[in-house]
Amino acid sequence: MASKASAVWTGSLKEGKGVISTATGVLSNANYSFQTRFEGADSGTTPEELIAAAHASCFSMALGAQLGGSGLTPTKIETHAAVTLGKVEGGFAITKITLTTTAEVPGATQEVFDAAAAGAKTGCPISKLFANNTEIILDAKLV
């Protein structure tokens, strides 16, 4: 299965603007710009925000799968992702992703939960995408 999205950019880097859309219509002409990406404007999204959403959702699903493999069914998994874009040699790169997760898992021991969280961190396809070039920090709590 291939997921699809498109982006259209017009103008120069600093004065230009763009829109992002997904084939499902979840995003439809969502605005993005230099100002949203580098200056903190809140009138649009950024590629890093979209990666954060992708990683948070992917990790949550992977954690659910890991817990299911141990015979546990989570009541709730909530993951927040923070993606850091930093200046590196040769330009900019995503230098760090921090995943902060809380999970309600009836019957789970701390040991089983920690193993499931570690497995989800390495097994999530988005984590795999960044595994060899980006620091991924996980703060997972069983509540």
pLDDT score, position 99: 98
For residues 101 and 32, membership in a common domain is answered with: no
Select from 85, 88, 82 the least CA-distant residue to 101. 82
Coil, helix or strand at residue 17 = strand
pLDDT score, position 43: 86
For the question of whether the overall pTM of this predicted structure is more than 0.85, the answer is: yes
For residues 56 and 22, membership in a common domain is answered with: no
pLDDT score, position 96: 97
For residues 19 and 52, membership in a common domain is answered with: no
pLDDT averaged over 10-residue windows placed end to end, the chain, 143 residues: 95 95 95 92 91 98 97 98 94 96 97 98 96 95 96
User: Residue 25 belongs to what domain range?
Assistant: 5-38
Give how many domains the chain has, as a whole number.
2
Residue 43 and residue 31 in contact, taking contact as beta carbons nearer than 8 Å:
yes
- Looking up residue 130, the CATH number of its domain turns out to be 3.30.300.20
How far is it, in rounded angstroms, from Cα 24 to Cα 142?
A: 33
For residues 24 and 55, membership in a common domain is answered with: no
